[in-house]
Chains A and B, each alone.
Chain A
Amino acid sequence: ETGVTQTPRHLVMGMTNKKSLKCEQHLGHNAMYWYKQSAKKPLELMFVYNFKEQTENNSVPSRFSPECPNSSHLFLHLHTLQPEDSALYLCASSPSSGLFYSGANVLTFGAGSRLTVL
C-alpha cells in the first residue's frame, strides 16, 4: 500500500450509468490529482486540486466531474461515458502542486481504478 487508496479497483458500466470513483490519502498531502492511462497512450493529467481548490482542468469532457470535499478525499463522478473512456484512472497526491524538482515534493500514486464502458 502506498498510502493512496482507490475504490473500486474495477468498474464496468453502461453508457447511461452514473458511477463514482473514490480516492483517499492519509499522507497529509495538500494536492491531489486524477490521471487517465489508456492503452498505448502516455499518462494524461485530468484534474489537479490544491488545498481543495481545483487548479487545473486539462480540457476534460464534462461527463467527468471531479469533487474534492477535503484534502484527503477526491472523487471522479462519471455519467454518460463513451467506450473510448475505458482506461485505468489513477489518483495521486503530493505535499503541494508546485515544482517537483527538489525531490521533496513527490507524487504518490494509488493502484488505479480499471474502468470498462460497454
Chain B
Amino acid sequence: KQEVTQIPAALSVPEGENLVLNCSFTDSAIYNLQWFRQDPGKGLTSLLLIQSSQREQTSGRLNASLDKSSGRSTLYIAASQPGDSATYLCAVEASGGGADGLTFGKGTHLIIQP
C-alpha cells in the first residue's frame, strides 16, 4: 500500500528565506506527483504536477523535483513571502490512476514571518 510522508510537519521561517519541503513515497511505481497548497478553511489548489518521466517542474518562485527511484520529491520555495503561509500537500498518483489512485501526505504547515 502506498504511503506518503512529508517532513517537516510544520516550519516557521523569516520572510525572504529560501526553503525546502520534503515528500517521500514508498512505492516508486507512480504516474505522477503533485504539490498542492491549502489555505486555512479552504480547499486545495494544485501548484505543480511532475510526470513520472520528468525530473522537475517550475512555476515562478516554486520548483519541484522528483527522484522516482528513491521515492522522493522536494518543493523549493525561493525568496519566501508571508503570502506563502499555508499547508503544502504532496500527492502521488499510482495503482489504478485517477482520484482513486491518489495518495496524499499529511502536509507541511508553513508560516512565513514578516
Contacts and interface: CB of A to CB of B under 8 A. Distances in A.
Nearest to B101: A99
Contact of B105 (A4, A42, A92): A42
A31 B99 contact: yes
A85 to B, nearest CB: 19
Interface string B53-97: 000000000000000000000000000000000000101010001
Contact of B34 (A33, A58, A100, A110): A100
Interface in B1-60: 4, 31-32, 34, 41-46, 49, 51-52
Interface residues of A, number: 32
B98 interface: yes
B102 interface: yes
Interface stretch (A12-20, A64-72, A74-82, A101-109): A101-109
Given A101-B32, A101-B51, A90 B43 contact: yes
Given A56-B100, A100-B49, A112 B43 contact: yes
A42 B92 CA distance: 12
A99 B98 contact: yes
B71 to A, nearest CB: 16
B50 to A, nearest CB: 10
Nearest to A42: B104
B45 to A, nearest CB: 7
A100 B32 contact: yes
A98 B100 contact: no
Given A2-B43, A42-B4, A107-B46, 14 more contacts: A41-B106, A45-B99, A97-B100, A99-B97, A99-B98, A100-B49, A100-B98, A100-B99, A100-B102, A101-B52, A101-B93, A101-B97, A106-B46, A109-B45
Interface of B: 4, 31-32, 34, 41-46, 49, 51-52, 89, 91, 93, 97-100, 102-106
A-B interface, 10 closest residue pairs, ranked by CB to CB distance from nearest: A109-B43, A101-B31, A43-B104, A99-B97, A101-B32, A42-B104, A109-B44, A56-B100, A97-B98, A111-B43
7 contacts: A45-B100, A92-B44, A94-B99, A97-B99, A101-B52, A101-B93, A107-B46
